[in-house]
């Protein structure tokens, strides 16, 4: 009996040893591949003409198990890497995307912006949930041109700065996805050359207006509500139905009208609203929202150029919410008017208001 038990235990031990040897051999393959890829990655260098790198914040990243996406998928299919390693390798492949960029900075007149600092932000995958990157710097030359070469990553963000200029990233914040690197086809980045701030008549105020179609008039220079016949700014809101059921807000129809009495108003979609247009002004601006609109919204935030009854140019911002349960609703208004009659609308709060 004891002899049979000894034989059984010995057989089990041999089986366990064989299994462990097979498992260790199989699991070592992806690890060996990861080490070789990491060593190859560390040996790679990227050079960028006219570029200085600074403040790297990337990490070594996840294991990379193949030279391209198809090879990675095939290695996982063959059992040479785990699913986690496959995902990590695919993220690593995104980090190899070439991000060469030729760019040119110009002002509102199309003239080159010389000596502007250009910051390039390279986005890199770090792991499944985190991302890293590195910052690269260069300057525009005598033609406003710059370039980033030899960079690799997921995306390349761009920010331009220069004293006396303004750059709005909402215009173009980075290298376009469909850009084909070509020194003869640079990406154009538009900056605004400041002319110098003028003292402005400036007012910002919050008020309430009815939503039954009754006009409300304001003095845009003071923010005071005034009789309808004497106000320069008149706002009218009509909502249907008037009463909103309690609970969640369901879509409804609304209509807004903004008027500059004895003057003009022009919807502003310019990224740099610092110079008022000569013409194109209308007596009023209208906006409406149908309950069937997709997407439907209950708010409006819009900037306008305006010309007051004295012929002075200005800028007007209105932020309106239509979904109040009260008999009136909130509106925020901010206005800038150049008292000199100039079209220049650059405003420096440090210089104050007249």
For the chain, the structural domain boundaries read: 48-194, 201-351
Residues with pLDDT less than 70, the chain:
1-67, 69-78, 80-81, 83-92, 126-132, 229-230, 349-354
Name 68's Cβ contacts closer than 8 Å, sequence gap at least 6.
93
CB crowding 166-182: b at 16 or more within 10 Å, else e: bbeeeebebbeeebebe
pLDDT digits (tens, 9 = 90+) for 167-178: 998 889 899 989
**Predicted local distance difference test score (pLDDT) of residue 22:** 43
**Predicted local distance difference test score (pLDDT) of residue 244:** 84
**Predicted local distance difference test score (pLDDT) of residue 69:** 64
Report field, pTM of the whole predicted structure over 0.95: no
CATH number for the segment(s) 48-194:
2.60.40.10
**Predicted local distance difference test score (pLDDT) of residue 245:** 78
Angstrom distances, CA of residue 147 to CA of 116, 183, 352:
13, 9, 40
**Predicted local distance difference test score (pLDDT) of residue 50:** 39
Q: Degrees (nearest 5) of the Cα angle 127, 134, 171?
A: 105
**Predicted local distance difference test score (pLDDT) of residue 99:** 92
């Amino acid at each position: 009996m004891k002899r049979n038990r000894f034989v059984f235990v010995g057989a089990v031990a041999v089986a366990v040893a064989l299994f462990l040897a097979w498992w260790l051999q199989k699991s070592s393959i992806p690890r060996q591949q990861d080490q070789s890829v990491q060593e190859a990655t560390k040996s790679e260098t990227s050079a960028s003409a006219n570029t200085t790198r600074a403040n790297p914040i990337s990490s070594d990243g996840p294991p990379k198990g193949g030279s391209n996406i198809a090879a990675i998928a095939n290695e996982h299919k063959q059992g040479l890497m785990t699913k986690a390693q496959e995902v990590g390798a695919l993220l690593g492949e995104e980090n190899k995307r070439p991000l060469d960029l030729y760019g040119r900075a110009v002002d509102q007149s199309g003239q080159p912006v010389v000596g502007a600092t250009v910051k390039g932000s390279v986005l890199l995958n770090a792991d499944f949930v985190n991302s890293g990157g590195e910052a690269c710097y260069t300057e525009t030359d005598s033609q406003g041109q710059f370039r980033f070469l030899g960079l690799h990553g997921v995306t390349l963000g761009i920010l331009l700065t220069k004293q006396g200029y303004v750059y709005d990233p909402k215009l173009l914040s980075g290298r376009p996805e469909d850009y084909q690197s070509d020194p003869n086809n640079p990406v154009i980045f538009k900056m605004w050359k400041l002319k110098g701030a003028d003292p402005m008549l400036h007012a910002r105020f919050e008020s309430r207006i009815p939503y039954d179609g009754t006009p409300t008039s304001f003095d845009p220079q003071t923010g005071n509500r005034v009789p309808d016949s004497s106000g320069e700014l008149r706002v009218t809101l009509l909502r249907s139905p008037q009463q909103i059921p309690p609970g969640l807000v369901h879509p409804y129809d609304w209509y807004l009208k903004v008027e500059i009495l004895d003057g003009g108003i022009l919807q502003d979609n310019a990224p740099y609203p610092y110079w008022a247009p000569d013409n194109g002004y209308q007596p009023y601006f209208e906006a409406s929202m149908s309950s069937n609109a997709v997407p439907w919204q209950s708010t409006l935030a819009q900037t306008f150029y305006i010309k007051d009854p004295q012929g002075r140019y200005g800028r007007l911002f209105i932020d309106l919410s239509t979904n109040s349960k009260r008999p009136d609703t909130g509106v925020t208004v901010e206005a800038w008017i150049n008292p000199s009659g100039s079209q220049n609308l650059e405003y420096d709060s440090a210089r104050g208001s007249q």
